Amino acid sequence: MKTIKQISSGLRFASGYMEAIRKVWQEQLPNRSAIRAILLGVIFLLNSYLVPGGSLVMTEEMKIHAERSLFYFDIRYQSFSEDLLKKCLEFEGVKYQDIVILQSQLETGYYTSDIFLNANNLFGMRYPKYRPTVAAGIYKEHARYAHWSDSVIDYALWQKWYLSQGYRIEGNDDNDFYLVFLKCIPYAEDKNYIPKLVKLSKGDLA
């Protein structure tokens, strides 16, 4: 529970955002920039209870949380790119990111497939029966997502689910190990799935 000092400090901090909010309503600021500023303030306030002593101090954990939230807000206004995809993979802590990028290229035909363009599905995921998911529904027997970044979040959930089932995929260095893992599950029905990933890597995974 917050102390009186924390509440007082929070109110003082919140008052600094009143002018920004007023300008949004009066359209004196570009809406996107103003909303970003307000969002950062809200994140700051909501996390202030974590700070001992009631003083509003932006901790490293809070900075990362705020940066992640603002990133996911911003990409809703941007076209898809592999650079943004890589940033998503980093934020979600996805393991074996080089292979995962190759999977996205293979599953979407370099981001031109129907399930990517119309269902925001980067990895050919089906709607899961058991594990947690952020999928919004089903599209042509595949999971459908509200935004392509949700597909990345779902891939991270997929990895975490297999870890919870006792599979060992904690490392990031042994690409061969992850390829064997994808083959043994199996990740795809295509028997040539792993050779296709190796070919896409131009020999880097051979």
For residue 104, what is the domain's CATH number?
Answer: 1.10.530.10
Give the domain extent around 110. Answer: 82-200
What is the amino acid identity at position 16?
G
> 66 with 35, same domain?
yes
What is the rounded CA–CA span in Å between residue 108 and residue 110? 5
> 19 with 110, same domain?
no
CB-CB contact of 178 with 95 (8 Å): yes
Quickly count: other Cβ atoms within 10 Å of residue 100's Cβ. Answer: 21
> 113 with 46, same domain?
no
Per-residue pLDDT 10s for the chain (206 aa) are 445 554 455 445 445 444 444 444 444 445 555 555 555 555 555 555 555 555 556 677 777 778 888 899 999 889 999 999 999 999 999 999 999 999 999 999 999 999 999 999 999 999 999 999 999 999 999 999 999 999 999 999 999 999 898 888 766 678 888 999 999 999 999 999 999 999 998 866 65
Domain count, the chain: 2
Q: Which of 61, 77, 93 is the last residue of a domain?
A: 77
